[in-house]
Amino acid sequence: MKQPLRVGIAGLGTVGGSVARLLARHAEGLALRAGRRVALTAVCARDRTRDRGVDLGQATWHEDAVALARDPQVDCVVELIGGDEGPARTLVETALAAGKHVVTANKALLAKHGMGLARIAEENGVALAFEASAAGGVPVVKTLREGLAGNAVSQVSGILNGTCNYILSRMEAEGLSFAECLADAQRLGYAEADPTFDVEGFDTAHKLAILTSLAFGVALDPEAIYVEGISKIAPLDLKMASELGYRIKLLGVAERTQTGIEQRVHPTMVPRISSLAQVMGVTNAVTIDADAVGELTLIGPGAGGDATASAVIADICDVAAGVVRPAFGLPAARLAPPERAPMQRHEGGYYIRLSVYDRPGSAAGIATRMAQADISLESIIQHRARTADADPTGRSGAPVPVVLITYATTEAAIREALARIDADGHVAEPPQVIRIERE
Amino acid sequence: MKQPLRVGIAGLGTVGGSVARLLARHAEGLALRAGRRVALTAVCARDRTRDRGVDLGQATWHEDAVALARDPQVDCVVELIGGDEGPARTLVETALAAGKHVVTANKALLAKHGMGLARIAEENGVALAFEASAAGGVPVVKTLREGLAGNAVSQVSGILNGTCNYILSRMEAEGLSFAECLADAQRLGYAEADPTFDVEGFDTAHKLAILTSLAFGVALDPEAIYVEGISKIAPLDLKMASELGYRIKLLGVAERTQTGIEQRVHPTMVPRISSLAQVMGVTNAVTIDADAVGELTLIGPGAGGDATASAVIADICDVAAGVVRPAFGLPAARLAPPERAPMQRHEGGYYIRLSVYDRPGSAAGIATRMAQADISLESIIQHRARTADADPTGRSGAPVPVVLITYATTEAAIREALARIDADGHVAEPPQVIRIERE
pLDDT one-digit tens code per residue, A333-389: 999 998 999 999 999 999 999 999 988 888 899 999 999 999 999 999 986 655 545
With CA atoms as reference, the chain B residue closest to A15 would be: B292
B217 min Cα distance to partner chain A (Å): 9
CA nearest A298: which of B322, B186, B139? B139
Helix (H) or strand (E) holding B298: strand B294-301
- The torsion angles phi and psi of B166, rounded to 5 degrees, stand at -65, -45
pLDDT tens across A21-52, in order? 999 999 999 999 999 999 999 999 988 888 89
Mean pLDDT in residue range A252-263? 96
**In angstroms, what is the C-alpha Rg of chain B?**
25
- Residue B300 is nearest to which of A138, A295, A304, comparing CB atoms? A295
A290 touches chain B (CB under 8 A): yes
A397 min Cα distance to partner chain B (Å): 44
Alpha carbon A320 to its chain centroid, in Å, reads: 28
- Residue B137 is nearest to which of A294, A298, A323, comparing CB atoms? A294
Confidence at residue A384, expressed as pLDDT on a 0 to 100 scale: 61
DSSP at B302? -
The contacts of residue B437 (CB under 8 Å, 6+ apart) are B157, B251, B253, B268, B269, B270, B271, B348
User: Residues 158 to 217 of A: which have CB under 8 A from any B CB?
Assistant: 217
pLDDT tops 50 at residue A398: yes
A30 min Cα distance to partner chain B (Å): 7
Interface predicted TM-score (ipTM): 0.95
Confidence at residue A61, expressed as pLDDT on a 0 to 100 scale: 96
Q: In a 10 Å sphere around its CB, with 0-12 CB exposed, 13-18 middle and 19+ buried, how is residue A322 labelled?
A: middle
Interatomic CA distance for residues A377 and A412, integer angstroms: 16
pLDDT tens across A86-113, in order? 999 999 999 999 999 999 999 999 999 9
Cβ contact A150–B26 (<8 Å): yes
B18 touches chain A (CB under 8 A): yes
Interatomic CA distance for residues B120 and B397, integer angstroms: 64
Q: Which chain B residues are closer than 8 Å to A151 by Cβ?
A: 26, 310
Q: Which chain A residues are closer than 8 Å to B291 by Cβ?
A: 306
User: Residues 370 to 409 of B: which have CB under 8 A from any A CB?
Assistant: none
Contact criterion met (CB below 8 Å) for A403 and A238: no
Interatomic CA distance for residues B8 and B131, integer angstroms: 18
Residues of the binding site of A for NADP(+): 10-17
B296 touches chain A (CB under 8 A): yes
A298 touches chain B (CB under 8 A): yes
- CB-defined contacts A:B, below 8 A: 183
Distances (CA, A) of B96 to A77, B19, B239, B338: 36, 20, 50, 25
With CA atoms as reference, the chain A residue closest to B304 would be: A293
- Residue B296 is nearest to which of A30, A35, A137, comparing CB atoms? A137
Q: Which chain A residues are closer than 8 Å to B18 by Cβ?
A: 292
The residue from A100, A112, A207, A249 that is catalytic is A207
Confidence at residue B349, expressed as pLDDT on a 0 to 100 scale: 97
Confidence at residue A396, expressed as pLDDT on a 0 to 100 scale: 63
Cβ contact A292–B307 (<8 Å): yes
A293 touches chain B (CB under 8 A): yes
Interatomic CA distance for residues B173 and B281, integer angstroms: 11
A404 min Cα distance to partner chain B (Å): 29
Interatomic CA distance for residues A331 and A327, integer angstroms: 8
Interatomic CA distance for residues A147 and A150, integer angstroms: 8
Task: Give the largest CA-CA distance in chain A.
Answer: 85
Cβ contact B143–A139 (<8 Å): yes
Confidence at residue B388, expressed as pLDDT on a 0 to 100 scale: 45
pLDDT tops 80 at residue A391: no
Confidence at residue B383, expressed as pLDDT on a 0 to 100 scale: 67
- Which domains, from first to last, does chain A contain? 5-133 (3.40.50.720), 143-301 (3.30.360.10), 346-436 (3.30.70.260)
pLDDT tens across A301-327, in order? 999 999 999 999 999 999 999 999 999
Contact criterion met (CB below 8 Å) for B102 and B121: yes
A307 touches chain B (CB under 8 A): yes
Cβ contact B326–A33 (<8 Å): yes
A271 min Cα distance to partner chain B (Å): 13
Q: Which chain B residues are closer than 8 Å to A322 by Cβ?
A: 322
Q: Which chain B residues are closer than 8 Å to A306 by Cβ?
A: 291-294
Confidence at residue B289, expressed as pLDDT on a 0 to 100 scale: 98
Confidence at residue A392, expressed as pLDDT on a 0 to 100 scale: 53
Cβ contact A307–B313 (<8 Å): no
Cβ contact A297–B300 (<8 Å): yes
Strands across the sheet containing B76-79: B60-62, B38-44, B5-10, B76-79, B101-104, B128-129
pLDDT tens across A132-143, in order? 999 999 999 999
Distances (CA, A) of B15 to A52, A235, B104, B306: 50, 49, 11, 7
Amino acid identity for residue A76 in this structure = C
Mean pLDDT in residue range A55-65? 93
Q: Is A157 helix (H, G, I), strand (E, B) or coil?
A: strand
Amino acid identity for residue B396 in this structure = S
With CA atoms as reference, the chain B residue closest to A326 would be: B33
Confidence at residue A388, expressed as pLDDT on a 0 to 100 scale: 46
Mean pLDDT in residue range A250-275? 95
Confidence at residue A159, expressed as pLDDT on a 0 to 100 scale: 98
With CA atoms as reference, the chain B residue closest to A142 would be: B147
CA nearest A379: which of A353, A347, A416? A353
CA nearest B310: which of B26, B2, B10? B26
Q: What does each of the 439 residues of chain B score in pLDDT, given as a tens digit?
A: 689 999 999 999 999 999 999 999 999 999 999 999 999 999 999 888 888 999 998 999 999 999 999 999 999 999 999 999 999 999 999 999 999 999 999 999 999 999 999 999 999 999 999 999 999 999 999 999 999 999 999 999 999 999 999 999 999 999 999 999 999 999 998 888 899 999 999 999 999 999 999 999 999 999 999 999 999 999 999 999 999 999 999 999 999 999 999 999 999 999 998 889 999 999 999 999 999 999 999 999 999 999 999 999 999 999 999 999 999 999 999 999 989 999 999 999 999 999 999 888 888 999 999 999 999 999 999 866 555 455 555 556 789 999 999 999 999 999 999 999 999 999 999 999 999 998 6
Indicate which of A23, A140, A151, A315 best probes the interface with B, i.e. most B CBs within 10 Å of its own CB: A151
- Residue B146 is nearest to which of A293, A301, A318, comparing CB atoms? A318
B402 min Cα distance to partner chain A (Å): 32
pLDDT band at A1 (very low <50, low <70, confident <90, very high): low
- Residue B149 is nearest to which of A33, A275, A296, comparing CB atoms? A33
CA nearest A221: which of A213, A232, A231, A229? A213
Query: How many CB atoms lie under 10 A from the CB of residue B95?
Result: 32
Interatomic CA distance for residues B54 and A279, integer angstroms: 41
Residues of B with catalytic roles: 207
- Based on the residue annotation, tell me whether A2 is a catalytic residue of this protein: no
Beta bridge partners of A39: A6
Residues of the binding site of B for L-homoserine: 192
Alpha carbon A189 to its chain centroid, in Å, reads: 19
Per residue, what are the HEC states of A247-282?
A: EEEEEEEEEEECCEEEEEEEEEEEECCCCHHHCCCC
Indicate which of A293, A312, A334 best probes the interface with B, i.e. most B CBs within 10 Å of its own CB: A293
pLDDT tens across B67-125, in order? 999 999 999 999 999 999 999 999 999 999 999 999 999 999 999 999 999 999 999 99
User: Residues 90 to 149 of A: which have CB under 8 A from any B CB?
Assistant: 131, 137-139, 142-143, 146-149
A299 touches chain B (CB under 8 A): yes
With CA atoms as reference, the chain B residue closest to A328 would be: B33
Q: Which chain B residues are closer than 8 Å to A291 by Cβ?
A: 306
Residues of the binding site of A for NADPH: 107
B36 min Cα distance to partner chain A (Å): 12
User: Residues 19 to 58 of A: which have CB under 8 A from any B CB?
Assistant: 22-23, 26, 29-30, 32-35
B64 touches chain A (CB under 8 A): no
A290 min Cα distance to partner chain B (Å): 10
Cβ contact A149–B275 (<8 Å): no
